[in-house]
Amino acid sequence: MPILEIDHLQKAYGDTHILHDINIAIEPGDFLVLVGPSGCGKSTLLNCIAGLEPITGGTIRIADRDVTGVSPKDRDIAMVFQSYALYPTMSVAKNITFGMQVRGVDKATQERKLAEVARQLQIEQLLNRKPGQLSGGQRQRVAMGRALVRDPALFLFDEPLSNLDAKLRVSMRTEIKKLHQDLNASIVYVTHDQIEAMTLATKIVVMKGGVIQQIGTPAEIYNKPANMFVADFMGSPAMNLIPARVRAEGGQTRIEIDRPGDAPLVITDPVARDLPAEIVLGVRPEDIHEATGNAHLPGTAQGAGGDVLIEIVEPAGADTFAVTHLGGKPVTARLRAESAVQARKPFPLAFDLSKVSYFSPKDGQRLN
């Protein structure tokens, strides 16, 4: 039984369509992340799930109950907001218990649940403070406490970490993940940060322009992006998208890539593929390796690469990034830190063809 089921959801303001035919279902315990660039409709979708925005068409079911026209308070949800939205005149304790107080929960239960949540989030010593006296991270905890104490069917998080500094964001991210594991809670989480999406989610929805681009596990989204937008959006540095030409040759696929100042680079995919003459080759930086003579790296076939002119070398501690130019686009390879690669010199690189994606240059859709 899905805990959340969105069926053919539409959202429009007058003639402006914000969300187009959204279909999503998640199981209890799932951590669903809605990710996309700003203006893609992910926050609007979350507000629709919460009932804070009316929808134009379709249905929303939470815990097997149709909540399409139900007000937010009766949807059995709790929400954490981007600005935390703590009530400024109330103490931390009051902030956390306000929902229970409104719902007429008795004092003893309120006290017990408050103590429970305060211990869980380690904010016991802050209970008598006002939100104005808290740091960003502490406010974040209180906002989560306000949601946790309700024990709802579904948690909604609207970019909860975007107001924190980089270091705190990473540690809070880990805490949210831990919380999810401990409580086995069902969560819908909105972010524009693809790393947050990858690290937290059990299921990712990538959105653009109010349309779902792909739904899948983090691994599916990362390894088999459904189109060039997803390929480009997920992953850092982004996937290399290289325009190329294709020739079928005796049960193999020959791929030609323009190389500045040299003959085109020809690589051979040993698998016969049904590809159009013009394609875009998608390859992640970590799937471009140093070609080391005869010793083939796993997955690399002979003739899957060649010498290319390296333009820039960026050592990043654990890895070294080498940037070259192929098919008229900058291409980044993630190499070992101790690699001998040098700028303005040719260097042998090989593509791991078992992991590449082929896209149609016309509509950007995945071909393999």
Of 18, 26, 62, 78, which one interacts with other proteins (CB under 8 A)?
78
Stretch that binds other proteins, among 62-70, 81-89, 108-116, 344-352 (CB under 8 A): 81-89
Q: What are phi and psi of 267, to 5 degrees?
A: -120, 155
Interface residue with other proteins among 23, 39, 65, 73 (CB under 8 A) is 73
Secondary structure element (H or E) that encloses residue 95, with its range: helix 92-102
Q: Which of 13, 69, 83, 236 is the binder for other proteins (CB under 8 A)? A: 83
Distance, CA of 34 to CA of 144 (rounded, Å): 19
* Phi, psi at 253, each rounded to 5°: -115, 120
* Size of residue set near other proteins by CB under 8 A: 24
Dihedral (Cα; 169, 170, 172, 177), 10-degree rounding: 130
Smallest distance, other proteins to C-beta of residue 48, A: 13
d(CA 141, CA 138): 5
Contact region for other proteins (CB under 8 A) — 69-77, 236-244, 287-295, 300-308? Answer: 69-77
Asked if 146 touches other proteins (CB under 8 A), the answer is yes
Q: What is the CA radius of gyration of the chain?
A: 25
Cα 255 vs. chain centroid, distance in angstroms? 31
Q: Which helix (H) or strand (E) holds 54?
A: none
Handedness of CA 240, 241, 245, 246 (dihedral sign): positive
**Which residues, 6+ apart, have CB-to-CB distance to 66 below 8 Å?**
59, 60
Establish if 344 lies at the interface with other proteins (CB under 8 A): no
Name which of 121 and 349 has its Cβ closer to other proteins: 121
Q: Which residues pair with 292 in a beta bridge?
A: 295
* Residues 84-143, interacting with other proteins (CB under 8 A): 85-90, 98-99, 102-103
Q: What angle do CA 44, 48, 49 make, to 5 degrees?
A: 120
- The minimum distance between CB 147 and other proteins, in angstroms, equals 9
Q: CB–CB of 33/187 below 8 Å?
A: no
Q: Taking CB under 8 A as the rule, does residue 163 contact other proteins?
A: no
Q: 105 or 309, CB closer to other proteins?
A: 105
Q: Which is nearer to other proteins, 129 or 273 (CB)?
A: 129
* Sole binder of other proteins in the list 4, 9, 35, 77 (CB under 8 A): 77
The binder of other proteins chosen from 40, 48, 67, 79 (CB under 8 A): 79
State the nearest-atom distance from the C-beta of 149 to other proteins, in Å: 10
Q: Say if residues 338 and 277 touch (Cβ distance below 8 Å).
A: no
Q: How far is the CB of 75 from other proteins (least distance, A)?
A: 8
Q: Select the span of 70-78, 259-267, 326-334, 355-363 touching other proteins (CB under 8 A).
A: 70-78
Positions in the binding site for other proteins (CB under 8 A): 47, 50, 52, 71-73, 77-79, 81-83, 85-90, 98-99, 102-103, 146, 150
